[in-house]
Amino acid sequence: MHYWLKLLVGVLAATMFAAAGFAQTPIRIGVLLPLTGPFAKNGIENWEAMKIARDMINERGGINGRKIEYLEGDATSPAAAISETERLITKEGIKITTGSFASPLAIAVSQAAERHGVFHWETTGAAEIITRRGFKHTFQVGAPARKYGQAAVDFIIDDLAKRLNKPVSSLRIALLWENRAFGKSVGDGIRAYTGKKGIKLVYDEGYDQFSTDMTPIVQKLKDSKPDIVIAISFPNDAILFQRKAKELNFNVSAFIGVSAGYSSPDLRASIGNMVNGIFVADFPPKVNPNVLKPEVRKIADEFYKRYEKKMGRPPAGHATAGFSAIWALFTDVLPKAKTFEPDELRDIALKLDLPEGSLVNGSGIKFTNFDWPDNPKDAGQNLRASIGVWQWTKGGNEEVFPPKLATHEPIMVPLPSWDKR
């Protein structure tokens, strides 16, 4: 009897061990996003997009049979981003991190990850410095800051100037930027790029995004009589600016916001139809499906459907970018990995050579590796990240530039004055 009992226990134990060995352990990824605090709005949208990607891949059986598991870190501020990243790495043993929406957070997260030799897949952070610190394991899938500005300027040169019937040289262009990492980085990029193209800016000033009174800014802009304003703002200051522009009756022929505030769905909720006609240089929220590979088109459709169902509105550009980047990690990087060690993942990432249209937002992937002629210090920046200009319309938004990605022609050029809007 004793013998049988022992045997039974032995067999049971063996079965359990075997089961444990065969049941695939999940692939654990640390997601660092601002889920509370001032950036939470966009952070949460990004988080929802990332969760949709996780659910979609797990429903398809995971990656080579292994499910994806997220461990979240609340990167409220750069300091919190560092401590949360370190917590996930040292306490939870995370080897892959992703996130982190805003540039200052991306700078912090990637720094903590690099210190521990952890693979960081940055989805949306844009500041140029992210990939210029000699880091080996940081990959920035989204477009770098200068491209946002270049898209805005190219749009003026290639499209708006013709629609306004003015040579580019006689257009009066004003540049307004919030003076933190993102705004300054984009502003610097625009200044350099317009300089190269021989365009003079009639106004060029930074402001604090927590400004509570926009009167002096709008008044000064008004006095400089611009045809076109390019503005880099966050949601709250973008709203205050537009209201003040209406109050002071400040009219321009075209208004181009760059990402962040002007791409936020809050803008329409807050200022209603005043938003129609504003252009936004940004990650495309949605691109012309014809540029996407057929299998990517299906993924894109499913993502848009799920996101709208969950959030009650279509995704902003950064949320689509978050989804696109993490989906690329799931389908083009992780399936090729065996050890899932950061060095192996780095080699896989550096070998990626995906043409434009491979990601849901129209991007391709080709990373720099200290070999880019424009900046040999750059490593891990995606040279094929898509960026363009879209426009707020009555029904939602339409991609208008570059023509390849466009879903619609630009409308409301020149922009009607406030009393006619």
Partner 1 sequence: MTTLGQLVLSGIFIGAIYALMSIGLTLIFGVLRIVNFAHGEFLMLGMYGAWAMTRLLGLNPYLAMIAVVPAMFLFGGLVYRLIVSPALDKPHLVVVFATMGLSIFMQNAALMLMSADLFDIPPVFGHAVTIGPLYFKAELVVGFVITVICTLVLQWALKSTYLGKAIRATVQDREAAMLMGIPVPRIFLITFAGGSALVGLAACVMMPLFSVFPTVGLNFVLIAFVIVVLGGMGSISGALIGGICVGIVQSLSSYYVAPAFGQMFFFILFLLVMIFRPNGLLGQKGAADIGIAD
Question: What residues line the site for partner 1 (CB under 8 A)?
Answer: 36-38, 40-41, 43-44, 179, 205-208, 210-213, 215-217, 219-220, 223, 235-236, 239-240, 243, 247-249, 266, 269-272
Least distance (Å) between residue 156 CB and partner 1 = 23
Helix (H, G, I), strand (E, B) or coil at 414: coil
Least distance (Å) between residue 169 CB and partner 1 = 27
Report the chain's C-alpha Rg in angstroms: 23
Specify whether the backbone of 198 is left (phi greater than 0), alpha (psi in -120 to 50) or beta.
Answer: left
Q: Which residues contact 407 (CB under 8 A, 6 or more apart)?
A: 286, 287, 288, 398, 399, 400
Closer residue to partner 1 in complex, CB, 34/357: 34
Name the residue with tokens 């023509």.
403
Q: Which helix (H) or strand (E) holds 25?
A: none
Backbone angles phi, psi at 248, to 5 degrees: -90, 5
Closer residue to partner 1 in complex, CB, 251/369: 251
Closer residue to partner 1 in complex, CB, 216/335: 216
Closer residue to partner 1 in complex, CB, 90/249: 249
Least distance (Å) between residue 239 CB and partner 1 = 5
Least distance (Å) between residue 269 CB and partner 1 = 7
Would you give the DSSP letter of residue 354? B
Q: Are strands 388-392 and 279-282 parallel, antiparallel or unpaired?
A: antiparallel
Closer residue to partner 1 in complex, CB, 44/56: 44
Q: Measured between alpha carbons, how far is 151 from 157 in angstroms, rounded to an integer? A: 10
Q: Measured between alpha carbons, how far is 277 from 413 in angstroms, rounded to an integer? A: 8
Least distance (Å) between residue 99 CB and partner 1 = 16
Least distance (Å) between residue 126 CB and partner 1 = 20
Q: Measured between alpha carbons, how far is 51 from 43 in angstroms, rounded to an integer? A: 12
Least distance (Å) between residue 43 CB and partner 1 = 8
Closer residue to partner 1 in complex, CB, 119/250: 250
Closer residue to partner 1 in complex, CB, 55/247: 247
- N residues, the chain: 421
DSSP 8-70: HHHHHHHHHHHHHHHSPPPEEEEEEE--SSTTHHHHHHHHHHHHHHHHHHHHTT-BTTBPEEE
Exposed/middle/buried for residue 169 (C-beta within 10 Å: 0-12, 13-18, 19+) = exposed
Closer residue to partner 1 in complex, CB, 206/314: 206
Least distance (Å) between residue 242 CB and partner 1 = 11
Q: Measured between alpha carbons, how far is 124 from 45 in angstroms, rounded to an integer? A: 12
Closer residue to partner 1 in complex, CB, 83/211: 211
Closer residue to partner 1 in complex, CB, 179/407: 179
What are the C-alpha distances in Å from 219 to residues 198, 200, 388, 421?
A: 27, 20, 30, 20
DSSP 119-186: EEEESS---GGGG-S--SSEEE-SPPHHHHHHHHHHHIIIIIHHHTT--GGG--EEEEEESSHHHHHH
Least distance (Å) between residue 243 CB and partner 1 = 8
Least distance (Å) between residue 240 CB and partner 1 = 7
